[in-house]
């Protein structure tokens, strides 16, 4: 059976993981990383880099997946490093072309820094609806490019 990355990412997002966590969770084990570890690492990237509204968490999650696949700790692998950078740039270009920006605040229409506690909880249905398309963009890219 073929894994439905998008359905799984949407389900994880709706169940309480942030967008970055949802993306890394569905791809991590395929690339040799325990999902629980990847989810922990991705946590601070949700809601635009720690709730600051900067780079979209789905996008940063996808960058981590690119790193899982093509990243290297060996500085003597310049071809692998170049490939990771190229794929990351293509992802950014595609995302920006499709959505007009990579900034969470602009994508969601809200200042993430002002949403905490009850205000954030009240906005979850909006985010679950709005962010689906961002999850779809990065999942489609990862499925085609990895």
Phi, psi of 116 (to 5 degrees): -145, 160
pLDDT recorded at residue 135: 98
Over range 38-66, report the average pLDDT.
97
pLDDT of residue 1: 63
Q: Is the pLDDT of residue 3 over 70?
A: yes
pLDDT, averaged across the chain: 95
The answer to whether the beta carbons of residues 142 and 94 sit under 8 Å apart is no
Closest CA to 134 of 89, 84, 98: 98
pLDDT tens column, 59-103: 999 999 999 999 988 888 889 989 999 999 999 999 999 999 999
Is residue 107 very low, low, confident or very high in pLDDT (cuts 50, 70, 90)?
Answer: very high
pLDDT score of 69: 95
């Amino acid at each position: 059976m073929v894994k439905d990355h998008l359905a799984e990412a949407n389900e994880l997002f709706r169940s309480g993981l942030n967008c970055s966590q949802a993306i890394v969770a569905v791809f991590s084990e395929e690339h040799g990383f325990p999902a629980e570890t990847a989810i922990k690492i991705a946590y601070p990237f949700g809601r635009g880099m720690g709730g600051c509204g900067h780079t979209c968490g789905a996008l940063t999650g996808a960058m981590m997946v690119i790193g899982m696949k093509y990243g290297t700790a060996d500085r003597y692998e310049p071809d692998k490093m170049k490939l990771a950078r190229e794929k990351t740039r293509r992802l950014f270009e595609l995302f920006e072309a499709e959505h007009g920006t990579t900034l969470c605040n602009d994508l969601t229409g809200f200042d993430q820094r002002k949403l905490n506690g009850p205000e954030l909880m009240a906005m979850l249905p909006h985010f679950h609806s709005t962010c689906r398309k961002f999850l779809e963009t990065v999942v489609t890219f990862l499925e085609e490019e990895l």
